[in-house]
Amino acid sequence: MSIKDEFLSLLERDKEFRYAVAGLLGLEEILKRLDRHEEELVKLREDMNKLREDMNKLREDMNKLREDMNRGFALVERHITALGARWGLLTENAFREGLRDLLEKELGLKVEKWSRFDERGMVFGYPSLVEIDVAIRDDRIILVEVKSHVGAGDVYSFKRKGEFYAANEGKKPDRLVIVTPYADAKAVEAARHLGIEVHTKI
């Protein structure tokens, strides 16, 4: 009797032997499946590591892009600020000349540029040249300040200009007038307390 025939005979006659063989065959299949799963897990782990590396590289690229954008925005903001300051000065000069022409031709007021050197720093806190537009009519003196934007500091500065003018000319101005397209709330409040007229509807 061959080994094969004996093995088949044992499977038919011996219940425990049959269960043992079946168990071994099932275990082998399970081990094969585990091997396949392990290979898949290894591949999945490799894919996860590659994905993590890609994400880290993407994060680095995003950080670099953010830094480049921030530098670009800062540069643009500096240019806009410089242009705004330059435009503000040009606008004030042009508007001041237009206002002087309007006061003289339409209202019959004589407008002249008054300037003195403030040695004691009465106006700005340090020695500097102080310039004021002065409108005169029937011996009434009106000091005029023209600015593209007025804040509270501009109002206080103009008040000191009026005091500096009075100290030099020996006569207090009858009116202090600020002409501007925009005055913030604090500037308007300061002007009201100091008796300075603010005209924004121009």
pTM of the predicted structure, to 2 decimals: 0.52
Q: What percent of the chain has pLDDT over 70?
A: 67
The total number of residues written for the chain in this structure: 202
Spatial CA neighbour of 123 closest among 112, 115, 113: 115
Where along the chain do its domains lie? 1-108, 109-199
Beta strands in 52-146 (DSSP E): 110-118, 128-137, 140-146
pLDDT computed for residue 71 by the predictor: 74
Structure tokens at 41: 């897990």
Q: How confident is the model at residue 62 (pLDDT cuts 50, 70, 90)?
A: confident
Of the two residues 59 and 107, the one the predictor is more confident about is 59
What is the CATH code for 109-199?
3.40.1350.10
Average pLDDT of the residues in 88-96: 60
